Amino acid sequence: MEKSFLKKLYLKDRVERINALVSARILPEKDAERLKKGSLLPQETADHMIENQIAAYELPLGVARPFLIDGQDYVVPMAVEEPSVIAAASSAAKIISLAGGFQTDIQNRTMIGQIALLDVPDMAEAEKILYVHKEEILKQANESHPSIVKRGGGAKDLIVRMIKADETANTPPFLVIHLHIETLEAMGANIIDTMVEAVKPVVEDLTKGRALMGIISNYTTKCLATAVCRIPVSLLERGIYSGAEVRDRIIEACKFAIADPYRAVTHNKGIMNGIDPVVMASGNDWRAIEAGVHAYAARSGQYRSLSNWTMADNGDLIGNLTIPLPVGTVGGSIAVHPGAQLAKRILGYQNAKELESIIVSVGLAQNFSALKALVTEGIQKGHMRLHARSLAMSAGAKGEEIRAVADKLKQRKNMDLAAAKAILEEIRSGLL
């Protein structure tokens, strides 16, 4: 990667950015030509991806400046409509790269399939029986999907959970079986669903209960990804705030999100501002990721911050983010969507663990940018500056008018749609 070609991408036009990625040896010429033509998703492909397809609803696809993750640089593709997301990610990536980058730790990629049983005559006895027949159950699961077993994956363990009846919630007792399944490079929903469906008759016979369902759980607590960064105070100074003040205020802001669920929801939404666009660009299921991540934020019994910011012994700011991240690199839309294949080539990742490292690092970076802005100049100043182009387009500006209106808007004290329309009228009437 030749990073010198990527300086000030935001000042270039779309074709110049594509050419810069080619010059930086990130994007092959063939991909560049396809990008210059526009839409990545052919109509025929779209028509076979979903039912009743009538059009392709597109989001802008951009790239964030290089992230230094585990000693390697990555230009990160992000599919997102929000103007400030890529700018915030790039800003954080620059600072954290100067501080040594992100270090990540990825758990073994173990997914969970559930079988829920009702009307079990003796729950305690059924639990004992299931553990006695554990190997038989795992064997049955693996025989239902031999191809994943041949590649080294498959059902590896079984856990039994007893859920008591809850009169307040009006729920009956459940006996729940968890199959721990290694799906290798796939997110694995189809693999898991096949396996749990296959063992339903076996566990019904063993427990004398009634199997309600067998299904994947998107709460993948056995597939966690962690990113850590360490930033000296010398890199944190902003405006009237010293580096130490910014550090302390970021830590206090994080404690607020740990203590208050109302703040934690917005704090974590900011983290997902970074995660979702990369998950979407890579062709993965962002709905599954969102569901699992927010459940993980409430694992203590109260919804809290996903990230944690603390001070090191030497005064550095340390950021830490751990989330469930069951992404895949094969299967589903990853295999058929040209945009997902393009994202894979841009990132150059070799396996799902590497993709997890990238995504969790972007989430931590996005959180850092948001907190730094919130505790210094405020979030709205930078956000509205980047929102100026959207306001210009909403006002009806076209072509070169968009930049002209946006530039004038940035000089206004009040930046809104009415101001954008007034500026556009002045430009078209020759007053500006």
Task: Catalogue the active-site residues.
Answer: 82, 269, 285, 383
Cα→Cα distances 399→20, 406, 424, Å: 22, 12, 12
- According to DSSP, the β-strands at 174-182 and 154-163 are antiparallel
Residue ranges with strand state E in 144-192: 154-163, 174-182
* Cα torsion angle, 48, 53, 54, 58, sign: negative
**For residues 133-168, b (16+ Cβ closer than 10 Å) or e, as one string?**
beeebbebbbebbeebeeeebbbeebebeeeeeeee
CB under 8 Å to 58, separation ≥6 — which residues?
A: 39, 41
* Residue 45: its H or E element: helix 43-49
Nearest of 107, 363, 339 to residue 220 by alpha carbon: 107
| Euclidean distance between CA atoms 326 and 348, whole angstroms | 19
| Euclidean distance between CA atoms 1 and 25, whole angstroms | 6
At which residue do the structure tokens 């003796």 appear?
Answer: 122
Nearest of 80, 59, 110, 28 to residue 278 by alpha carbon: 80
